[in-house]
A and B are shown apart, each in its own frame.
Chain A
Amino acid sequence: MSGDPWIWIGAILTLMIFSFLYKDNPFYKFGEHLFVGVANGYYIVYYWQNALKPNLFEPLSAGQFIYIVPLLLGLMYFARFIPRIAWVVRIPIGFTIGWGAGLSIPALFQADVLRQLEGTVVTPATFSNPASGIWAVIILVGVVCTLIYFFFSKEHKGILGHTSRIGIIFIMIGFGASFGYTVMARVSLLIGRIQFLLGPWLGLID
């Protein structure tokens, strides 16, 4: 068994949180509230030490007065708390949206639309390997049918109805795969905690 008090604290807090699986209780509540408090404290200190201090206050105190501009923009967000001047908040929001949209639209169109479309296009070269050819056709059918499922300007009847139903199958397979992966992720977290309890705490495994 570990002699390290920090390992003991970690283990006891883990057991406190796991006690919720039996039923809600004061130990679980204590663990939960402690986590929220510690996480908030960590983030406040971390952002002060690693973002605000080196990126704003240190350059300002070194005489780089251009940093007054981002300081003012940041302070304008707090105008929301004073109803009389609440409109001021639109200035930093407008600045952020303008910068974000200008930066994102071309990049997003290139990475998420054009390259993805390129990946869907089936060419004779795709069939150089029969397996990749079959997969490319399946992807093409999946993309077209799923898009048709989300096409609501015409009633889903006839060919549109059949293809949208195939689209539903593809969507369901996608949901199933995502759910399976989610289960795997959650189980991994449990395994991690059990490894911690059996290893560093109890010393039963390496």
Chain B
Amino acid sequence: MKWYDRITTIDRRIIYLLLTVLVILPFFVKVTIPQKVMPQTQRLFDFIESIPPKDKAVMISFDYSPQTQPECHPMAKAILKHCFAREIPVIGLSFDPEAPGLAVDALVSVEREIDSLAARKEDSLIYGVDYVYLGWKSGRIAAQLDMGEAISGVFPRDYFGNLIDSLPLMQIVKNYKNIAIVVILASADYPIDWIRYPQTRYGVKVGAGLTAVMAPQYYPFVQTGQVSGLMSGMKGAAEYEKLVLEHGYARTLGNAETGMNSQSMIHILIMLFIILGNLGYFFSRRAKKEK
């Protein structure tokens, strides 16, 4: 068998094995591949950076499921750390039925981290004052439009069963007038509804953190300004983690930054396989023609 035939018939299990080795390696061998922050991630960070403390709230729509947790969960934690460090109130909600458990996990783990570092009691986070999680709602388009009138009309109780009107934060945040931006962290086509309906009717600012599969279809919306900033996949999450760390809003990097080292190595391997596959294809085609 010629070399070019051999490289086009590599057993897929060998490729899987190589991929696995390269994913694991960066966790044990210190490899640092520098990540450049993309403009759309920077724009989202800058937007949140421009919100005055204790003024308007940031609404985060947690709309990702467990299978896309490695991409969206680090985004959620990074953006929560950013908001809480800048004393920006956060209102969480979900339209994906698989998301509430993950949303609560992100909120609770960030709250624990901030509370463990708090020097004074006032620096720790209080549920209902600094953040609220509204829970899940069906019929998302109607819900998104109705929240323009009154959030309490759509979510009379929060995820934990508290009456919305009994929460101090929700006495200030009544509708989109009190929301600086809605950031949608999603693994499906959820942000488009926010752009089409609440943004068109109420002028709501929209930001997004999407899985890498979803991201390309939202670049046109970033270009037109309909999306004020965008985190794309694990790379976007790693970039946001880096910005949060550089500005002193976190003490350590999150999971996305660690994962990006594996990601970069896999990309190099995949590029190598694409080149080898093409070389094998062209040489075997030429050999066939010569015969």
Contact = CB atoms under 8 A, between A and B. Distances in A.
- Is the pairing of A and B real? yes
B138 A55 contact: yes
Interface residue range, chain B: 35 or more
Contacts of B126: none
B262 to A, nearest CB: 5
Interface residues of A, number: 42
For the complex, would chain B's binding face be called helix, strand, loop or mixed by DSSP majority? helix
Nearest to B68: A189
A118 interface: yes
A110 B200 contact: yes
Contacts of B201: 107
B34 interface: no
A195 B213 contact: no
Contacts of B200: 106-107, 110-111
A40 interface: no
B138 A184 contact: no
B138 A181 contact: no
B19 interface: yes
A127 interface: no
A111 B68 contact: no
Interface string A83-112: 000000000000000000001101110111
Nearest to B258: A195
Nearest to B195: A111
Interface stretch (B48-56, B104-112, B218-226, B282-290): B218-226
Given A187-B19, A188-B212, 18 more contacts: A21-B13, A47-B97, A55-B138, A107-B196, A107-B197, A110-B196, A118-B224, A119-B220, A119-B225, A184-B233, A187-B262, A189-B68, A191-B262, A194-B24, A194-B27, A195-B27, A195-B255, A204-B28
15 contacts: A22-B13, A50-B135, A50-B136, A116-B224, A139-B223, A177-B216, A185-B68, A187-B23, A187-B262, A188-B234, A192-B70, A193-B70, A194-B262, A195-B70, A195-B258
Interface of B: 13, 16, 19-20, 23-24, 27-28, 67-71, 97-98, 135-136, 138, 141, 192, 195-197, 199-201, 211-213, 215-216, 220, 223-226, 232-235, 255, 258-259, 262-263, 266-267, 270
